[in-house]
Amino acid sequence: MKPKNRYLAPFKVPLIFLIGFLLSAGIIFGNRCFAANAGPVIREADALIEKGDLEGAISKISGFLDNDPKNVEAWVYLGNLYLRKKDRDQAEKAFDSALELKGKNPEALLGLGKTYYYQGKYEDAIKVFKSGLKTHKLKAEFHNWLGLVDLAKKDYNQADLEFREATIADPKSAEYHKNLGDVEMERKIYALAVSEYEQALKLDPSAEGIYFKLGEAYFQLRNFTEAVEQFQKVAQKDPTNAEAYRKMAAIFYAAKKYPEAKAAYEKLLKLEPNEVNALVRLSKIYILLGKYDEAGDMLLRAIKLDPSKSDAFFDLAKVYFKNGKYREALNAYDKYQRENPDKLDSEFWKRKAQTQLRLGDENPEYLDSAVVSYDEVLKLDPKYSKGYSDIGYVFYRRKEYGKAIENFKKSLKINPKNINALKNLAYCYLNKKQFDEAISTLRKTLEYEPKNYQIMGLLGNTLGYVGKYSEAVSVLNKAIELEPDNATNQYYLAVIYSNWGKFDSAAKVWMELLNNPNATEEQKCSAYKSLGANRLSKGRWKDAIDFYTKAKGCDPKNVSTIMGLADSYRLGQKYDQARALYQKIIDTVPNTKNAEEAKKKLLQITFQ
């Protein structure tokens, strides 16, 4: 039988294949091609995403798929939208739908593998990514994501291999080198991490996150200069990057560059004003810089934000102590002690004991507490010389000189150069009138501090007290040579000259003392009285009257001063003034030797 249409017959078979092809391509029967029909709606969705309307983009694509449920590319796009939304269950469904339509679609396989990765289904992700590699498309991306899975599984060797395969497939990708750097950071091969991060930045200098990672790598290499440089680049590119300032602050603090650390922490706190750790660290810097008020403000803010930050009370106590607020300091130490019973180290007990000693100046009861605290110190640190020394000082304050001496000796056994212990030991001996021991102790002190003019003065005064005038004068003159403005040593020297009978030498020193702006009123009063006696002995009654009058002004009830002034008036034949003063002595201290002497002198005036 001949065909009805001779033009159709020769094309019968090819036409059947053509119809099949058109059906599979979705060109006929309403199943449209993506390239022709999905492009516009995807561009509309992209525009919505740029406006921040992710839900609108999802709705747009979902609506498109309602009309065209077999569009593979639209399902892939929808799956990526759900990944962006972090709705991984919906993302998985979208990618599965794409793969049901086209089982070897590389974009769908990549999306599904990512979804499994984010869900923590690493083995499933590996299977999907390896299937993707068999498509021979997106090779670099599949290797990269396999590397990310291995990195998450801490299989760093395999991750390294996968990332290197990715760089071979796409040598211009900064991301793959960045991921290699991350592997080396995990393996603690920081020099290689630096190399990979730097390669990544050569490929993409705008990748801000890599500057931060490079800074971290340099930090681990202890190359703080380079680390800070990278973090500064991060901060310059993004002034709101709080972590960059946090890292720089930590580096500067560790390097003891406190002004720079302070500036970095202050910038961090502008971005994160409630960052408690930053407040506490900044307070430590303020303490180191001597800015105790600012430190206190930072600590109080930190404690208000986080009352459980009990460690802050320790630093707050130190601030109060530095500002002389000892009661507040002790309260802060008590708070720290209650909240941290397992952290009470020797440093804590030392500081608390020091605070109690200061409070002991007002209330002696705190001295007992200080001894208890020092006992805790010595349990933890038996070789703490100052602990015994301070306990000795407590007993010294109580005038329990025997116990004080015992503790000072314990302190000196641990540290023979403890100057405070030596000095206070000498004071104990002086109070017990054990002058030889006191002199020996003071000499030992000067072996360690040969230019300590205060110890020299004390030694000179003690030598004078036991009658060793020549050596006393020599020691005191040396002390005054070292510190000419020290009025106490001048006073000691003048007294020793007087006791030695060298009154003119004493008078010279007394005059020097009166010209010393550091002289106390008591010392000046002694100078006036001694100079009055010196001038009276030389018949210089006018000068004597002047000095005795000044002495009487600062000590109006001193009988010997009144007697000297009366004698000076009598020598100058100012009998009325003399009589009045002699009578004052008789009335003030009757039935005494001074009163009897005044009566005799008053009688002598009567016959003159």
Q: What is the model's pLDDT at position 517? A: 95
Burial 495-527 (b: 16+ CB within 10 A, else e): bbbbebeebebbbebbebbbebeebeeebbbbb
What is the pLDDT of the chain when averaged over all its residues? 91
Which of 171, 175, 216, 224 lies closest to 193, judged by CA?
216
* Radius of gyration in angstroms for the set of CA atoms belonging to the chain, rounded to a whole number: 47
* Cβ neighbours of 348 (radius 10 Å): 20
What is the spatial distance between Cα 439 and Cα 583, in angstroms, rounded to a whole number?
Answer: 45
Q: What are phi and psi of 449, to 5 degrees?
A: -130, 75
Q: What is the model's pLDDT at position 291? A: 92
What is the spatial distance between Cα 486 and Cα 546, in angstroms, rounded to a whole number?
Answer: 26
The torsion defined by the Cα of 504, 506, 509 and 513, in degrees rounded to 10, comes to -130
pLDDT in tens, 55-113: 999 999 999 999 999 999 999 999 999 999 999 999 999 999 999 999 899 999 999 99
- Mean pLDDT (whole number) for 409-433: 95
3-state secondary structure 130-181: HHHHCCCCCHHHHHHHHHHHHHHCCCHHHHHHHHHHHHHHCCCCHHHHHHHH
Residues 277, 278, 284: CA angle, nearest 5 degrees: 95
- Mean pLDDT (whole number) for 360-378: 92
Q: What is the model's pLDDT at position 607? A: 67
What is the token pair recorded at 335?
């708070």
User: CA 394 from chain center: how many Å?
Assistant: 32
What is the spatial distance between Cα 469 and Cα 465, in angstroms, rounded to a whole number?
Answer: 8
| Burial (0-12, 13-18, 19+ Cβ within 10 Å), 363 | exposed
Strands (E), 18-94: none
Q: What is the model's pLDDT at position 37? A: 74
What is the spatial distance between Cα 495 and Cα 548, in angstroms, rounded to a whole number?
Answer: 17
Q: What is the model's pLDDT at position 9? A: 34
Look at residue 182 and give its three-state secondary structure: helix
DSSP-assigned letter for residue 452 = -
Please check the confidence at residue 385 and state whether its pLDDT lies above 50: yes
Please check the confidence at residue 26 and state whether its pLDDT lies above 60: no
What is the spatial distance between Cα 465 and Cα 103, in angstroms, rounded to a whole number?
Answer: 110
- Mean pLDDT (whole number) for 324-341: 94
**Residue 223: partners with Cβ closer than 8 Å, 6 or more residues away:** none
**Residue 482: partners with Cβ closer than 8 Å, 6 or more residues away:** 451, 453, 456
Task: Calculate the alpha carbon distances from 248 to 46, 185, 215, 262 in Å.
Answer: 38, 19, 10, 10
What is the spatial distance between Cα 376 and Cα 333, in angstroms, rounded to a whole number?
Answer: 14
Delineate the domains of the chain, giving CATH numbers in brackets: 239-343 (1.25.40.10), 354-450 (1.25.40.10), 532-608 (1.25.40.10)
Asked if residue 272 lies in contact with residue 291, where contact means CB atoms within 8 angstroms, the answer is no
Helices 487-500 and 469-482 pack at an angle, to 10 degrees, of 160
Q: How confident is the model at residue 554 (pLDDT cuts 50, 70, 90)?
A: very high
What is the spatial distance between Cα 250 and Cα 256, in angstroms, rounded to a whole number?
Answer: 10
What is the spatial distance between Cα 303 and Cα 280, in angstroms, rounded to a whole number?
Answer: 9
What is the spatial distance between Cα 452 and Cα 460, in angstroms, rounded to a whole number?
Answer: 12
What is the token pair recorded at 247?
């890292």
What is the token pair recorded at 436?
């030889």
What is the spatial distance between Cα 429 and Cα 443, in angstroms, rounded to a whole number?
Answer: 13
What is the token pair recorded at 292?
């105790």
Asked if residue 133 lies in contact with residue 114, where contact means CB atoms within 8 angstroms, the answer is no
Residues in the chain: 608
Asked if residue 337 lies in contact with residue 344, where contact means CB atoms within 8 angstroms, the answer is yes
pLDDT in tens, 130-179: 999 998 999 999 999 999 999 999 999 999 999 999 999 999 999 999 99
User: What pTM does this model have?
Assistant: 0.62
What is the spatial distance between Cα 277 and Cα 372, in angstroms, rounded to a whole number?
Answer: 33
Please check the confidence at residue 32 and state whether its pLDDT lies above 70: no
- Mean pLDDT (whole number) for 221-232: 94
Q: Which of 26-35, 246-255, 282-291, 492-501 has the least mean pLDDT?
A: 26-35
Q: What is the model's pLDDT at position 608? A: 62
Q: What are phi and psi of 417, to 5 degrees?
A: -100, 15
